[in-house]
Amino acid sequence: MTSHLMENYAAPVVTFVKGNGTVLIDSEGNEYLDFLCGLSVTSLGHNRPEVTKAIQEQAATLSHVSNLFDHPQRQAVASLINDLLVDAGGRSGKVFFCNSGAEANECALKLARKARPGKHVVLTTLNSFHGRTLATLAATGQPEKQMVFAPMPEGFEHIAFGDLQAMEERLSVGDVAAVLVEVIQAEGGVNTPPIGYLPGLQEACRKVDALFMIDEVQTGLGRTGQWFGFQDENLAPDVVTLAKALGNGIPVGACWALDGVAAAFKPGDHGSTFGGQPLALAAAKATLETMIDLDAPALAHEASEQLRAGLLDLPGVTGVRGRGLILGAELNADIAKEVTQEALAAGVVVNAVRPNVIRCMPPLTVSADEIHEALRRLHAAMTKVHEQAGGE
């Protein structure tokens, strides 16, 4: 059959038709353990009853109204997000709703320029990932992803992740509106910075009145074992971006900013037709309320040790990066792609983020038995890849 899809994604090898909790089912009835969660999205597992019910009820009531009008979910979800952020860091702010991580960051970038007039530079880190729109691609510190789309929008500079001195020097020039940083570089290989780097960066931003903006699109909402990754070092960011897990599979993103920063946006400065519409926010409300009821970050924290220890025991694994349930297993050779393929064949979904690193991000609700079984399948996959490599 002729495909009418653009070829920007690698050809898929499996067609999934159904999901429940940690389990995915393909078109031939095979069962897989989903240790990727649609790239950190389905943190409550597939088909989570509370979220499914909320989507069904909202779809039967009112799916969409434009942002020219109000609907009850807007204030409710904005308050839930703000309350979580206040509990995590202490200061109150306001939320803009959108549909993806890139759009959440796009909002942050526009807000930074509007809130810090006269300064237009945004500093990010090498190896970071902030999205695929032109501005968020320019913010992304991976020149190989940018080259074919040159020229990039102006005003973005990338500095090595973890190099505080270089950040401080660049910030001291005085033209920087904001720093945008991930607490763990997720797509970049599950890289954690040295302890003290992020607090130092926050301090350096404060000194020159640049905004300290944290991209929690992948790490936020329990994934690291805390509600937000920045809590590990008691940070108090000025802007936080969220998406992925926020709707447990329904597209919704959010850019939160401190009151004084958010105030820079006036009517007409920014918007999105679908951003914050009732269906997406019904999913977000049910997701957040369920996460709060379950204490989802605590679940991730508890499950983390079993997964980390089990990964370390696998053949050819030399180390494990990350925390909570965003873990990267370092392999002793550049075989992450092969391991991922064999793992899929063995019934566990993970992905390769570096030639020698596979990333595991199961639902925060994953059970001890599921972790045990996924590790057994990964063990079989890795043994097979090592045997094939040895036999060549």
Ligand X SMILES: Cc1ncc(COP(=O)(O)O)c(C=O)c1O
Q: Which of 96, 97, 119, 244 is catalytic?
A: 244
Instruction: State the pairing for strand pair 23-26/357-360.
Output: unpaired
- Which one of 21, 93, 131, 275 is in contact with ligand X (CB under 6 A)? 131
The correct pick among 77, 98, 102, 254 for binding ligand X (CB under 6 A) is: 102
Positions 199 through 258 that interact with ligand X (CB under 6 A): 215, 217-218, 243
To the nearest whole angstrom, how small is the minimum distance from the Cβ of residue 130 to ligand X?
5
**Stretch of 79-87, 124-132, 310-318, 331-339 lying at the interface with ligand X (CB under 6 A):** 124-132
Of the residues 119, 215, 230, 285, only one is catalytic, namely 215
Nearer to ligand X, 82 or 218 (CB): 218
- The answer to whether 179 and 171 have CB atoms below 8 angstroms apart is yes
Distance, CA of 370 to CA of 50 (rounded, Å): 22
Nearer to ligand X, 141 or 310 (CB): 141
Q: Give yes or no: 293 in active site.
A: no
**What distance in Å separates the CA atoms of residue 291 and residue 302, rounded to the nearest whole number?**
15
Distance of CA 212 to the CA centre of its chain: 18
| 129 is annotated as an active-site residue | yes
d(CA 30, CA 388): 24
Q: In what order do the strands lie in the sheet with 253-258?
A: 93-98, 253-258, 239-242, 211-215, 176-181, 121-125, 156-159
Catalytic residue among 97, 129, 156, 228: 129
106: contact with ligand X by CB under 6 A: no
Structure tokens at 85: 């952020």
Closest distance between ligand X and the C-beta of residue 69, in Å? 26
Which sign, positive or negative, has the C-alpha torsion 35, 41, 44, 45?
negative
Structure tokens at 233: 């070092």
Nearer to ligand X, 255 or 343 (CB): 255
Active site residue 266: no
Binding-site size for ligand X (CB under 6 A) equals 15
Nearest approach, Cβ of residue 97 and ligand X (Å): 13
List, as own/partner pairs, every contact residues 86-91 make where C-beta atoms lie below 8 angstroms and the sequence separation is at least 24, other chains included: 87/227, 88/226, 88/227, 88/228, 88/230, 88/231, 89/228, 89/230, 89/231, 89/234, 89/235, 89/236, 89/237, 90/236, 91/236, 91/258
Task: Provide the mask over 29-58, with x wherever binding to ligand X is found by CB under 6 A and - wherever it is not.
Answer: ----------x-------------------
Among 186, 240, 346, 348, binds ligand X (CB under 6 A): 186
What residues act catalytically? 129, 215, 244
- Which residues contact ligand X (rule: CB under 6 A)? 39, 100-102, 105, 129-131, 182, 186-187, 215, 217-218, 243
